[in-house]
Amino acid sequence: MQKPSNLLPEGFHDALPPQAEAASRLERDVLDTLLSHGYARVTPPLAEYEDSLTARMHGETKSDLMRFVDPISQRTLAMRPDITMQVGRIAATSMAEQPRPLRLSYSGQVLKLRSGQLQPERSRLQIGAELIGTDTVIAACEIVSVAIEALEQAGVKGITVDFTLPDLIDILAAGPLPLNEAQIAEVQAELDMKDAGGLAAIGATGYLPLIESTGPFDQAMERLRTFDREGLLTSRLDGIAEIAASIKGKANLTLDPTERHGFEYQNWFGFTLFAEGFVGALGRGGSYEIAHMDEEKEQAVGFSLYPNPLIDAGFGAKAKDQLFLPLGHDNGAARKLRGEGWRTVAALSEKDDAKALGCTHILNGDEIQPL
């Protein structure tokens, strides 16, 4: 007989008390915030047919899928690495006839084939909201504001919103600073590293001002407007400036116009959420398009939060008194106490130790006494 094992696959772990409860509380707080703004919840399945899932994916995420063959249909299934695309599918099919703008929220685990040094987990919680049917500046202002409020309700302080223009290089390469596809990839790689020497070495000196247009929002935006001599980016820059103005005072604001990480399908604007005390991003969002079955495109804006770092840091945890109920206690009284908010633990034998079971109080007759 094989001995029981507690070994789990790399990148997976059990959530134990009190962390699991803290995670549920944090998730509930965020979802309640989204619901208060009219975002109705949907729950897509953990797995879908691979071809259906990958049809809505972009970039390298297609290679980061956990796949397996469905023994019933004999078709290849894939575990979702992201829920946003699933919400897009729902909006374009099951809810295609619903009035727009359509506000949807979601929460669930996503799975990745590989993990990284900064994010060793392969399974993580994703919570988000999508505003479907428009990508106007007003809609974008709502999404960014709701994202900040959701983090605040989770207890996060010192929030920073870092704005980006995901399709900036494509626009410039097709216009005043022409590049072919191979050159675009080279320029993007150098801009990712903020390597001025690398840009000069490949003859892309026209893109150098973009490196300087990074940092605190107002100064970076001023430099970016100076760079945009032909006014090609005016409408985009005006839109992002308006979004930033709408949340001024609610968060620190920065601008990195060429940031691409996590923005595989966003178009005219994107944003990343950071917070004091955390190394990596806590969430991302922006504008994008949803493909319908008739090949029409629908505009949308949204965001996703990845709260695992918050949960690991103790956010969502809440100390709560626990009442020990001795053998022979009054069941009616215990029911009333639970209705008043007490958490009770009933004795099953005379050997049960109230303190060992995590109780802070004991019911003595009809009197509650601290331990």
Same domain assignment for residues 148 and 87: yes
Q: Is residue 34 part of a domain?
A: yes
Residue 114 lies in a domain: yes
Residues 25 and 116 in one domain: yes
List own/partner pairs for 175-182 with CB under 8 A and 24 or more apart. Answer: 175/230, 175/232, 176/206, 176/230, 176/232, 177/204, 177/206, 177/207, 179/204
Q: Identify whether 27 is part of a domain.
A: yes
Residue 277 shares a structural domain with residue 360: no
Residue at 84 is within a domain: yes
Residues 6+ apart with CB under 8 A from 114: 64, 122
What's the sign of the alpha-carbon dihedral 165, 174, 220, 197? positive
Residues 93 and 69 in one domain: yes
Instruction: Determine the Cα–Cα distance for residues 121 and 119; give it in Å rounded to an integer.
Output: 6
The CATH code of the domain that includes 305 is: 3.30.930.10
> Per the domain annotation, does 117 fall within a domain?
yes
pLDDT at 352: 96
Give me the pLDDT at residue 60, please. Answer: 59
Kindly report the pTM of this predicted structure.
0.92
Residues 348 and 294 in one domain: no
Shortest CA distance to 293 belongs to which of 95, 20, 33?
95
Q: Is 90 exceeded by the pLDDT of residue 320?
A: no
Q: Which domain holds residue 349?
A: 322-370
| 304 & 356 share domain | no
Of 52, 102, 163, nearest to 299 by C-alpha is 102
Residue 306 shares a structural domain with residue 340: no
CA distances to 64, 87, 225, 282 from 307, in Å: 21, 19, 35, 6
Question: Residue 129: inside a domain, yes or no?
Answer: yes
Q: Lowest-pLDDT range, 64-68, 80-84, 326-330?
A: 64-68
Helix ranges restricted to H, 193-227: 196-201, 208-212, 217-227
Do 286 and 361 belong together in one domain? Answer: no
> In the chain, what is the straight-line distance between the N-terminal and C-terminal CA atoms, in Å?
44
In this structure, the answer to whether residues 35 and 105 fall within a common structural domain is: yes
The whole-number pLDDT of residue 118 equals 65
Report if residue 186 sits inside a domain. Answer: no
Cα 353 to Cα 54, 320, 349, 361, 371: the distances in Å are: 54, 18, 9, 12, 11
Give yes or no: residues 341 and 365 share one domain: yes
Poorest-confidence range of 112-126, 136-150, 210-224? 112-126
In a domain, 262, yes or no: no
What's the mean per-residue pLDDT of the chain?
93
Report the alpha-carbon distance of residue 121 to residue 8 in Å, rounded. Answer: 12
Say if residue 27 is in the same domain as residue 109. Answer: yes
Q: What are the pLDDT digits (tens) for 128-140?
A: 999 999 999 999 9
* Total domains, the chain: 2
What percentage of residues in the chain have a pLDDT greater than 90? 83
Kindly report the length of the chain: 371
Report the pLDDT value the prediction gives residue 59, as an integer from 0 to 100.
66
Question: Six-digit token pair at 328?
Answer: 């022979």
Distance, CA of 53 to CA of 39 (rounded, Å): 23
Do 73 and 118 have their domain in common? yes
Q: Which tens digit of pLDDT belongs to each residue from 222-246?
A: 999 999 998 999 999 999 999 999 9
Per-residue model confidence (pLDDT) at position 90: 97
Which amino acid is located at 187 in the chain?
V
| pLDDT surpasses 90 at 99 | yes
Average pLDDT over residues 294-306: 95
